[in-house]
Amino acid sequence: MRHLNRTSGTGGVRARSHVRKHARCQCPSRRSEGMKNENIKALVEYRLEQAEESLKAAELLLRAGMPRPSVSRTYYAMFYAVLALLAVRKKESSRHGGVISLFDKEYVKPGIFPKEFSKWLHDAFNLRQRSDYTVQYIPSSEEAENLLMQARSFVDGILKQLKLGENN
């Protein structure tokens, strides 16, 4: 069922289209812009819990001989850690690619994190995409284990950065 605004002409369609596009933009009216500091802190803690939980799940899955879901959980551990980091700056995106781009723009390009972190995140995203959506592709246990080691360093680095930010 198609919903249109009750305006005449194409203005309603155009306005509706902007609403859809607005969901991805970084306009000041986005949800995080109006968040109070205590809510941001709670969101950061929640995202970090998700990251830690995902790392533990990835390790369990890998030990159980399931590299494909391990890769997915490993990527999500990194993704959640980045979401925690971005929440501090009141930045967000509804798309994974947008989150990765914001991480690169806000933290890698200015030198807060090494380029290696960007490479690890991009590689994790690509490997997860490949293992989740490519028919008959299963990542090797070695690939999954390497990714998990990188993710641990990645999440630890973000935790350290967040703690540094609290002390400034």
pLDDT in tens, 5-42: 333 444 444 333 333 343 444 433 345 555 688 899 99
The CATH number of domain 35-166 is 2.60.40.1170: no
Whether the pLDDT of residue 57 is over 90: the answer is: yes
Sequence spans of domains, the chain? 35-166
pLDDT in the model for residue 146: 98
Q: Can you tell me the mean pLDDT for 103-122?
A: 98
41: tokens are 């802190």
What's the pLDDT at 87?
96
In this prediction, residues 71-88 reach a mean pLDDT of 98
**Predicted local confidence at residue 37, as pLDDT:** 81
Instruction: Find which of 28-32, 80-84, 133-137 is predicted with most confidence, using mean pLDDT.
Output: 80-84
3-state secondary structure of 18: helix
Structure tokens at 102: 């914001």
pLDDT at 6: 35
> Which tokens in the block code for residue 147?
């990714």
Q: Please state the three-class secondary structure of the chain as a single string.
A: CCCCCCCCCCHHHHHHHHHHHHCCCCCCCCHHHHCCHHHHHHHHHHHHHHHHHHHHHHHHHHHCCCHHHHHHHHHHHHHHHHHHHHHHCCCCCCCHHHHHHHHHHHHHCCCCCCHHHHHHHHHHHHHHHHHHHCCCCCCCHHHHHHHHHHHHHHHHHHHHHHHHHHCC
Average the pLDDT over 77-93 and give the result.
97
Angstrom CA distances, 155 to 51, 74, 83, 136, 143, stand at: 7, 10, 11, 30, 18
C-beta atoms surrounding 77 within 10 Å: 27
Instruction: Quote the pLDDT of residue 141.
Output: 97
How far is residue 152's CA from residue 164's CA, in Å, rounded to a whole number? 18
Check: CB of residue 67 under 8 Å from CB of residue 167.
no
Supply the pLDDT for residue 13.
40
Least confident segment among 2-11, 54-63, 68-77? 2-11
Interval 79-91 mean pLDDT: 97
**Residues 6+ away with beta carbon under 8 Å from 96:** 79, 125
Q: What does the mean pLDDT of the chain come to?
A: 85
pLDDT computed for residue 96 by the predictor? 97
| pLDDT value of position 15 | 39
